Structure 1
Amino acid sequence: MLANVVGVPLGAFAGQLMGWRGPFSILAVLAPAAMVLIARSVPKERRGGQTVSIRSELSPLRSGRLWLVLAACATTSVGVLGTYTYVAPPLTDRAGVAAALVPLVRVGFGAGFLVGGRAGDVRPYATTIKAAASAAVVLLTRGLLSAFAVPTMALVALLGLVAFLGTPVLIALGVRFAGKAPTLGSALTVSAFDLGTAAGSWVTVLALGSPCQVAGPAMVGAAMAALALVPTITSALIQGRRSRPAFG
């Protein structure tokens, strides 16, 4: 989460000063330093630990509830992060925002990451539904108001707040539904988010070339975020049936 508040804006600012290759060069230098810190900080694996079989590790893949969570992760990511990948063109080309302000807008988006998640402790399934619905509404509004600088910048920050309210909840549900393979469940949810980001970036490029032009990514993102309502609502309905007391 902190990387989205600090790292992404700094990368965008460095790209403006050094060209797009600059941030990659910096990361290439920082990566070995990170390896040293990880090697020194992460506890060593204890000998004699319990060995988990591959069959046991893969058994959660038979869980339909886990696949619903993964679908929600992917569709949310397609709509939100796919649009966020190309957030600069709508800001600079249509809304007339100065390029120097784009990193600051990204800071606002990243700050939304940090706020989200608290509601998920109380009502996890309702939170995922509200996050998907809110993201769809914000993206649609952003597409309609893409020619206005101040509303567009505010909506980018608001998108970071509402869209990722459900992110920690979805990861927690993925771990829960993975049963005896919680590490795999966590890895699958993150992979689903990354898959959605990659697919969303591709879809966004196509949207930029559509008649909607720079407003296209937000409109397509709204549709994708709305699609996330299908797995989130289905998960909530399944949980409701399981929680309902049986009579007779």
Structure 2
Amino acid sequence: MTAAHLTRPAGPAAATAGPVTGGGAPPRLPFVVYVLAAGTFLMLTTEFVVAGLLPEIAGDLQVSVARAGLLITVFAAGMIVGAPTMALLTRRVPRRVTLMTALAVFAVGHVVVALGDSFPLLLAARFGTAWATGAFWSVASVAATRAAGPGASARALGLVGAGGMLANVVGVPLGAFAGQLSGWRGPFWALAALALAAVPLIARHVPRAGDDQQSVSLRSELGAMRSGRLWLVLAACAATTGGVLSAYSYVSPLLTDRAGIAPGWVPLVLVGFGVGSLIGTIVGGRLGDVRPHATTIAVAASTTAVLLAICVLSAHPVPTVLLVVLLGLIGLSANPVLSALAVRFAGVAPTLGVAMSVSAYNLGTAVGSGVAGRALDSGLGATGPAVVGTILAALTLIPTIAIALLQRRSPSGGRP
């Protein structure tokens, strides 16, 4: 099965989309892709904004900061379970309806958090919000590839992913700042309002034409999950994200305790990482439309080299800062390519394929950060998480190289 069968344009703007060639400019992405990117900006902002509000939440609810951190953990767990589950539950629901409903549930969940005084209630609301986020992310990814067409699917996913990366650059810092001014509940009210404002945008710009889901049986969709290439992609998703975020999650002690950087400079370094991630995701999507397998292998190898350099040079502040920014630029740049490959290799179940990739990203983050936390408390000290990240990034080479070899042997010659 070729990519054309899986990324059929959904509207007139996408009908002219073709493969990117060396002799002309890439086709313009339809406006709906930018709308979907704005939605993922909201989704990723809510996932990470809690980290900047933990002391305020803990103090207000009279729990420890470590216990308040469960609001992050339960969201990740909800994404792991919720993304594929919602993909199956909404398989016969029109995509635009699923996107609008997910935004509405997202808004309700944030209102519950903003009003709630019970910590268990907040955990439940965060878990439910994560399910809505998983549904939106999965369906938005497929809607973006269908709108962009086969020649720009990875670029479209790069832009949708860039909306999430922009959350780290803009959304999370603004949320933390707003929380200081208005209390920790203020950002949740703002996110609820923005989600409701996005509903009519989805209704207007996600086309009705081709909106109905194909009548593919549940058995056929689950059968598509037997694809060995898909599971190799999922392994790469988990390993690459786990490698980068295991180091990034504990970059603050690396910068302060090991490199000797003043704590006041750490937020600026994190912004540099976020800006690098934003640029890298967009560029990676563009490269992935032309050379998908070369891109995934090169990113895995480069990320391994950068993390290894961090381990070696972490006692020197200037190189460490530059390497952290470089990690942001390179480390996650293959994610849109991997998501596009998940759509392709899932066959008749593209939404479920993307949902599985979302679960894999979150699983890699959860496992990688957990192991990195133990490494931080080991004899390796502040460099422990970077060591864990280096190993996981190196492991990414196994599935990416295997995918490239399998595709080279296929009749299509490895074209996506």
CA contact (8 A) 1:119 1:127 kept: yes
Offset of 1:53 from its aligned partner?
2.7
Give CA-to-partner distance per residue, 1:25-59, whole Å, 9 cap, x none.
Answer: 34422331133123222228969934443223222
Question: Who is 2:253 aligned against?
Answer: 89
Offset of 1:204 from its aligned partner?
1.0
Same amino acid, percent of matched pairs: 50
CA contact (8 A) 1:9 1:104 kept: no
Matches within 5 A, 1:127-146: 127-146=295-314
Offset of 1:10 from its aligned partner?
5.9
Match of 2:357 among 183, 189, 204: 189
- 1 or 2 for the larger relative contact order (CA 8 Å, sep ≥6)? 1
Question: Who is 1:11 aligned against?
Answer: 172
Q: Following the alignment from structure 1 to structure 2, what is the Cα–Cα distance between the partners of residues 142 and 208?
A: 15
2:268 counterpart of 1:104? yes
Q: Following the alignment from structure 2 to structure 1, what is the Cα–Cα distance between the partners of residues 317 and 166?
A: 21
Give CA-to-partner distance per residue, 1:136-193, whole Å, 9 cap, x none.
Answer: 1100110111111111110011111222231111010000011111111111112111
Q: Following the alignment from structure 2 to structure 1, what is the Cα–Cα distance between the partners of residues 298 and 316?
A: 26
Match of 1:210 among 378, 391, 400: 378
Q: CA distance change for structure 1 residues 27 and 204 in 2, over 3 Å: closer, same or farther?
A: farther
Which 10-residue stretch deviates more, 95-104 or 194-203?
95-104
**Gaps spanning 5+ residues in structure 1: where?**
none
**Gaps spanning 5+ residues in structure 2: where?**
1-161
Question: Who is 1:37 aligned against?
Answer: 197
Offset of 1:111 from its aligned partner?
2.3
Which 10-residue stretch deviates more, 150-159 or 103-112?
103-112
SS of residue in 1 equivalent to 2:223: helix
2:336 counterpart of 1:176? no
SS of residue in 2 equivalent to 1:100: helix
Offset of 1:119 from its aligned partner?
1.9
CA contact (8 A) 2:296 2:337 kept: yes
Give CA-to-partner distance per residue, 1:107-156, whole Å, 9 cap, x none.
Answer: 22122222331221221101111111111110011011111111111001
CA contact (8 A) 1:109 1:159 kept: yes
CA contact (8 A) 2:242 2:389 kept: yes
RMSD: 2.6
Q: Following the alignment from structure 2 to structure 1, what is the Cα–Cα distance between the partners of residues 310 and 383?
A: 8
With the length of structure 1 as denominator, give the TM-score of the two structures: 0.87
Kindly provide the amino acid, as one letter, of the partner of residue 230 in structure 2: L
Q: CA distance change for structure 1 residues 112 and 159 in 2, over 3 Å: closer, same or farther?
A: same
